[in-house]
Amino acid sequence: MKRLPCGQCWTKLSLASRLMIVAALAMLLGGTSLLYITVRSMADSYHAELAEQLNDGLDSLTIVLGEQAVVGDYATIQQILDGRAKRRNVSLVGWTDVDGKSLVAYGKLIPPQAPDWFVEWVDCPHFDRERNLEVGGQSYGKLFMRLTTAPTMNQIWHTFAWQLQVILFGGTLFFVLSALALKYGLRPLYTLTQGAARFGQGDYSVRIAPCGAPEILPSIHAFNDMACRIEGLLDAQRKYTRALEQSANSVVITDARGDIEYVNPRFCEATGYTLEEAIGQNPRLLKSGETTPEEYRYLWASITAGGVWRGEFHNRRKDGSLYWESVSIAPIRNEKGVITHFVAVKEDITRRKEAEESLRRLNETLEQRVREEVAKNREKDLLLTHQSRLAAMGEMIGNIAHQWRQPLNALGLLLSNIQDAYAHHECDQDYLDKSVARGELLIGKMSSTIDDFRNFFKPDREKVRFSLEGAVR
């Protein structure tokens, strides 16, 4: 983009010349504003005065001419009008009766002294107005009056010209005195400029001796303090830079959009990318595809909200090999609290991950062995349980056989008695019924024995409170 000629000239001017030009423009602007305000206030004031004069003149004419208009004394009316036309600012005054006859008196013609451009700028028009002449509710024609603004405009012009001369004289005097003051007062500033140039060239030990006007002394002191602070900051920056470059962890600094602006040498060693290849790239160039887009969105939302994100990535080097990193990403804020950059500190945890994987596999093998031993012990427990049940069943059958032996013997004896009774013709109906009843009683005892054993081995369906103390007593 080409500069305008005036802009090129301005850049070549010295500070003193610029200050003089700015001061002259300020004086010109201030004087112009003062003149404008003065002229407008005078014009508004005279405008109000002329409007009041016009109203008062018509009011007084209405009173004075009312009686003469009733009697029709035109000569007296003309005299009154001639007298009113001689008053200040009156250009024309007249009266027209109901028949259309007009009496007019003209005031003294005052030539304008202000130029046309000034008259157009002030814009103060002539004042004229008509009013009905009524007496007792009856109309006797119309009064009209016109005021000229020539005297007012001449007075405003004289005031304007006088103030303009005063402003020009004051501005010229101010310009000359300011030029002299700047010439001798800015010498310490030139010394300060030369010192700043040396400082900018790398001479951080330069200091300026305090001298000159009280207004310049604070600048010299401020420059010396600034030089001391900058020298200290540069020392601290060199220390921090060495700390970053010699860090055992990878350090990446990006802008607010996520584009890389700085990486330390450890990053280049871990990833295989050079500094030139990494600058301007996005950290996604290390993506291996194992991290889901949802995780990346959560990461970005966390750090852009001002939080710190910590996690692990399985990234890909430049040569295609994979490695594990433990990453901590935090925002960097400026003095206004706005996030301008992000810093990521990364630690290579590939060996730790490999050790954890080996331990995990060992644990899986151990768990498999434990499960197999537990399964074997469970089979043994099931076998013992089955054997215990068979033993309990054999014991139960033995008990049933023991309990049935006596009823079976008695039943056999009963059948033998029935046979003997039948052989000796003693087996009548009564004897047979008693024998059958006794046999059924023995069979019932045998059946109750089976029920008792079955109920004994049957588990309870409901919990029953048991008192050990009551059972012992």
SS3 324: strand
| Mean pLDDT calculated for residue range 425-447 | 76
Q: What are the residues whose beta carbons fall under 8 Å from the beta carbon of 172, sequence distance 6 or more?
A: none
For the ranges 142-146, 179-183, 267-271, 427-431, the lowest mean pLDDT is seen at 179-183
Residue 341 has pLDDT above 90, yes or no: yes
> What are the pLDDT digits (tens) for 96-107?
888 888 888 888
- pLDDT tens across 2-38, in order? 555 555 666 666 666 677 777 777 777 877 788 778 8
pLDDT, tens digit, 9 for 90 and up, residues 214-270: 767 787 888 788 888 888 888 888 888 888 888 888 999 999 998 999 999 999 988
User: What is the Cα–Cα distance from 468 to 466, expressed in whole angstroms?
Assistant: 6
pLDDT above 90 for 342: yes
* Cβ neighbours, 10 Å, residue 304: 13
For residues 216 and 235, the answer to whether their CB atoms sit within 8 Å is no
pLDDT at residue 461 greater than cutoff 50: no
Q: Are 33 and 118 in contact (CB under 8 A)?
A: no
C-alpha closest to that of 59 among 2, 129, 127, 120: 129
Task: Residue 107: name the closest of 40, 71, 57 by CA.
Answer: 57
pTM: 0.38
What CA dihedral angle connects 153, 155, 157 and 162, to 10 degrees?
A: -170
Residue type for position 46: Y
What's the pLDDT at 8? Answer: 62
Q: What is the pLDDT of residues 261-318, one digit of tens each?
A: 999 999 998 899 998 999 999 988 888 888 888 998 999 999 999 899 999 899 999 9
Q: Which of 133-147, 249-263, 402-416 has the lowest mean pLDDT?
A: 402-416
Dihedral sign for Cα 21, 22, 28, 31, please. Answer: negative
CA dihedral in degrees (245, 249, 254, 256; nearest 10)?
A: -130
Mean pLDDT of the chain: 80
Q: Is residue 72 pLDDT above 50, yes or no? A: yes
With a cut of 80, say whether residue 352 has pLDDT above it.
Answer: yes
Model confidence band, residue 1 (pLDDT cutoffs 50, 70, 90): very low
